[in-house]
């Protein structure tokens, strides 16, 4: 069977980026990995075809030569003439699955991909590892597998553990580092699909989704929270309990505090993983009147307003 166009094999366009090609390969490799369908010869051939297509297109030089029509989908030179033992006049051969007595040795990407064990009649390739089929099987690193886990806001800020079930049936505890941000990715080495031909396993890529919090928000390493205070606390000043990601702390509200005033709590934010230094927490005050309105307070303000007034909108530039 003739080798198919590698772009068609991977299902990508000729203008596909290197990243698009890699994503397409990984998706198909996960579907057709021989370890997922043991004994399925057709699936194994499909996997080899996918791997061969990716091997050609992931090499920028070979891809460019293929796009220019200089080599065919198997990597064989289309135009150069053949010298002794089939070596091209360019000095480098792209071999196929045909007998090596026709094609030269040289750098053989197909042989590299499938283990370098193809049969070389009468030559050094014959012997151990070069059986009747002429191949020791493909050498392919195992594919990565993606997982996701959801953690509460406080646990992501302070660090936690979450148990996940892997595709191989194992369950493992994943450490969620303190300061983990939403959609961060954790890499678990060797926990992906198994490799072939002695190549290493792929990795498990765990995407962490952080739940929103009822009153905390995060900006980089800083935590922000809005805290309501009473009228008398605002006018006279007070000490109030304020929540932080590590528990409640007592905070002094200065006399004359107003809605929008911000207090800074140093070191009460999220620890930066690179510097190991914590951010800060910013407390925005909000003055709240009694609900329902207090009759005595209303009478007092009525009398107070007869001799005193102040224009807040003019000061804010709204008039």
pLDDT at 110: 34
pLDDT at 137: 60
pLDDT one-digit tens code per residue, 281-303: 999 999 999 989 899 999 999 88
The CA distances from residue 274 to 95, 126, 188, in Å, are 49, 54, 20
Report the mean per-residue pLDDT for the chain: 80
Domains and CATH numbers, the chain: 6-68 (1.10.287.110), 145-210 (2.60.260.20), 216-306 (2.60.260.20)
pTM exceeds 0.75, yes or no: no
Q: Tell me if 217 sits within 8 A of 191, measured CB to CB.
A: no
In sequence order, the 6+-apart residues with CB closer than 8 A to the CB of 287 are: 228, 229, 230, 231, 234, 257, 258, 259
Q: How far is CA 173 from the centre of its chain?
A: 19
């Amino acid at each position: 069977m003739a080798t198919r166009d590698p772009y068609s094999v991977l299902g990508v366009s000729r203008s596909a980026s290197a990243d698009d090609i890699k994503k397409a390969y990984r998706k198909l490799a996960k579907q057709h990995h021989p370890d997922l369908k043991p004994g399925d010869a057709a699936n194994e051939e499909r996997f080899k075809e996918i791997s061969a297509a990716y091997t050609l297109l992931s090499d920028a030089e070979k891809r460019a030569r293929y796009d220019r029509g200089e080599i065919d989908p198997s990597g064989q030179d289309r135009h150069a003439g053949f010298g002794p033992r089939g070596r091209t006049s360019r000095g480098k051969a792209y071999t196929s699955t045909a007998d090596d007595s026709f094609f030269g040795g040289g750098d053989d990407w197909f042989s590299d991909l499938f283990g370098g064990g193809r049969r070389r009649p009468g030559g050094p390739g014959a012997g151990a590892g070069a059986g009747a089929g002429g191949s020791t099987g493909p050498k392919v690193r195992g594919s990565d597998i993606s997982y996701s886990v959801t953690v509460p806001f406080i646990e992501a800020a302070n660090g936690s553990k979450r148990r996940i079930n892997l595709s191989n049936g194992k369950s493992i505890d994943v450490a969620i580092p303190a300061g983990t941000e939403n959609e961060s990715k954790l890499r678990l080495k060797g926990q992906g699909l198994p490799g072939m031909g002695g190549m290493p396993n792929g990795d498990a890529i765990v995407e962490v989704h952080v739940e929103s919090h009822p009153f905390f928000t995060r900006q980089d390493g800083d935590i922000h929270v809005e805290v309501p205070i009473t009228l008398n606390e605002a006018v006279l000043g007070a000490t109030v309990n304020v929540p932080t990601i590590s528990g409640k702390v007592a905070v002094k509200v200065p006399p004359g505090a107003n809605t929008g005033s911000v207090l800074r709590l140093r070191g009460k934010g999220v620890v930066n993983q690179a510097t190991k230094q914590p951010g800060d927490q910013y407390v925005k005050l909000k003055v709240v009147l009694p609900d329902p309105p207090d009759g005595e307070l209303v009478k007092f303000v009525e009398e107070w307003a007869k001799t005193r007034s102040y224009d807040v909108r003019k000061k804010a530039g709204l008039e």
